[in-house]
Chains A and B, each alone.
Chain A
């Protein structure tokens, strides 16, 4: 440290409070991991698990007999099948253990043995039968044209990324605000700030501002990674995507503030956080569509803020939806944010 008299810059109270929050977060390696690295890691792993690939050929068995060689040759011609020759005594066992999904004998008119309740078995039956019919001289009446859809925008990962973004906005909004407020309350820091005298609006405002500032790199890294590394499309306007993310972050900041308005301990706030977030993890369509739940539950599901956020994000990114079609979701988000913020202010425990 220099021996010359040091000058320390003092900024406005709101700036200092916001800076304090940003410094706290960026100096916490765990926080950086959960906010920035974790969503990318999750997207990368899930896209690996659900990557697009050609369907595996179906394993089928040809029971050894006089025409075994001819039938093997006929079935080998179909790329959707992987035939193998079986001794007659192993055929039943291979079928039972799932090594093959269908067996066919090798004498005269084919006998098929398969389980019609298994989709793979049924498919194998259609393919094997067609191959053997063709080998016996059947000619197809026509050859259909086929369009195979594996293009970006309709894959699982495209569905997943907006959900992960929504989940991340919820998690960091609630934890980022809730945790630090409860720690500050527990250590008497909130009381000391108010006594000092910081304005209450500045203390809470700094939380919101730092949250919105963090949103930029946080949502940005996930989206850039998803777009350039995974090819997830952005069909709507970027500006609208930013606006939706911003509104989502504000809504969950309000909920975080509300959740942290009273508890004195980390244990207390953790329980409440889970109570609020777990239903949304399950119902709000992060990993699978909300339509899988029965119609009677839909009014509840659609009223959840994360459902609204996820729908709006998917709308912008995947469907190229415009502002007007997303007004209900955006209004719902704003409602959650404003109402929870106002209640939080009313019941907030400063000491």
Chain B
């Protein structure tokens, strides 16, 4: 059974089409990631699932139910973290937790929720004294304190340092290990790769690819990416590069070539030879394992983080 499902969502803000027929299924017990650049429609989709926005058209089901009225009976089964929440500066961490706990008929003890996000020692501290990472974990604890069946995380680690990001991941993984469902949005490919069982790549309000991180990378047909740029008078065409051994895909952006290859040790010597024949100097040459970012680039021709 699906924890979350939506069909053919359309949402416009004035002339801007935020969602253009987006459909998704999230299974119970999985961590599902929506990966895409800013403005792709991730937050709009999540907020429609959360019942905070209404689609112009399309169907939404959450735990087998539809949003109607204030939806409180459904909401108490969900944990919702918004992209950014400024809690009351002058309240202590424990007071904020008690406030959020009071909205749920059942759930965790305040102390238990604080332990889950490693904020026990900050229980008596006022919110204004917390670091960015601690505030983010407080926000996570407020979403967890009702012991939800589904947890919504909208860019949970944006702007956090690597250590805080890792702590957040640990909390999400522990929650998932209890068989609960997570829907998260991110534009960090490592986050999606680390946490998610399945990932939907979203662009311009549509799902353009769907699968496990491994499947998506495998869909490139090659595991490695060679990036290079050249200087010199000679001409190098896409077809010249495509003709090299083990090359799967060729893209060029701002003078930087990105070539997806099956085997680096066969492709690179042939590439260097081809450049020399054409009197071209490689000014930059790197290779790396293909990532979700490369998947996004091969699908859209753009980088995820371009803004």
Contact = CB atoms under 8 A, between A and B. Distances in A.
Taking residues whose C-beta sits less than 8 angstroms from the other chain, chain B's interface range is 35 or more
Interface in A1-50: 1, 5-13, 15-17, 19-20, 23-24, 27-28
Nearest to B107: A10
Nearest to B80: A195
A65 interface: no
B97 A197 contact: no
A11 B110 CA distance: 12
Q: Which DSSP category, helix, strand, loop or mixed, fits chain B's interface?
A: loop
Nearest to B89: A24
A13 B98 CA distance: 9
Interface stretch (B32-40, B69-77, B159-167, B242-250): B69-77
Given A10-B101, A16-B99, A189 B50 contact: no
Contact of B142 (A24, A196, A197): A196
A195 B94 CA distance: 20
Taking residues whose C-beta sits less than 8 angstroms from the other chain, chain A's interface range is 35 or more
A203 B172 CA distance: 29
Contacts of A9: 98
B98 A8 contact: yes
A51 interface: no
B91 A197 contact: no
B86 A10 contact: no
Contact of B102 (A12, A184, A188): A12
A1 B121 contact: yes
A157 B75 CA distance: 55
Given A8-B94, A192-B80, A16 B102 contact: yes
A184 B87 CA distance: 8
Interface in B87-105: 87-88, 90-91, 94-95, 97-103
Closest A-B pairs by Cβ, 10 of them: A187-B86, A197-B75, A8-B110, A27-B90, A16-B102, A195-B80, A13-B102, A192-B85, A16-B99, A10-B101
5 contacts: A8-B97, A20-B91, A188-B86, A192-B142, A351-B52
Interface of A: 1, 5-13, 15-17, 19-20, 23-24, 27-28, 183-184, 186-189, 191-200, 351
